[in-house]
Amino acid sequence: MEDISRHKALLRTKQQELRAFLNEWNPIGVDGLPYDEYDCFLRVIGDLHRGTTEAEVAAYLREQLADHFGIDPDPSQPEAFARRLFDWYWADPLPSGS
């Protein structure tokens, strides 16, 4: 049971870190958004954990910006942000079984 609690705590920490990165990135460029505005991107943690490539993360970000948010993804440079997320996650990945 202790491992499950530890893994959940690690996942919550990763989610909080990712929310902070997303809000800093702020691809729609609106100040004062709700803290969870970009929660649709939180699945990236699981994707990375399963071995999704940096290019696949970039494609997902680009797709969400265009289809979900209805904006041109180019100004927010999803490829550069995907690289940041990839490096961030793999610097301290979730343990197997999370």
Cβ–Cβ < 8 Å for 98, 12: no
Identify residue 94 by its one-letter amino acid code.
L
Q: What share of the chain is helix, strand, coil (3-state, %, to 5)?
A: 65, 0, 35
| Domain parsing of the chain, residue ranges | 2-27+37-91
Residue corresponding to tokens 């505005």: 37
In this predicted structure, what is the pLDDT of residue 19? 95
In this predicted structure, what is the pLDDT of residue 21? 95
Q: pTM of this prediction?
A: 0.88
In this predicted structure, what is the pLDDT of residue 7? 81
Kindly tell me the burial class for residue 24, based on how many C-beta atoms sit within 10 Å of its own C-beta (0-12, 13-18, 19 or more): exposed
Q: What is the mean pLDDT of each run of 10 residues along the chain (98 residues)?
A: 74 95 94 89 96 97 96 97 97 82
CB half-sphere exposure, 90, CA atoms < 13 A: 13
In this predicted structure, what is the pLDDT of residue 32? 86
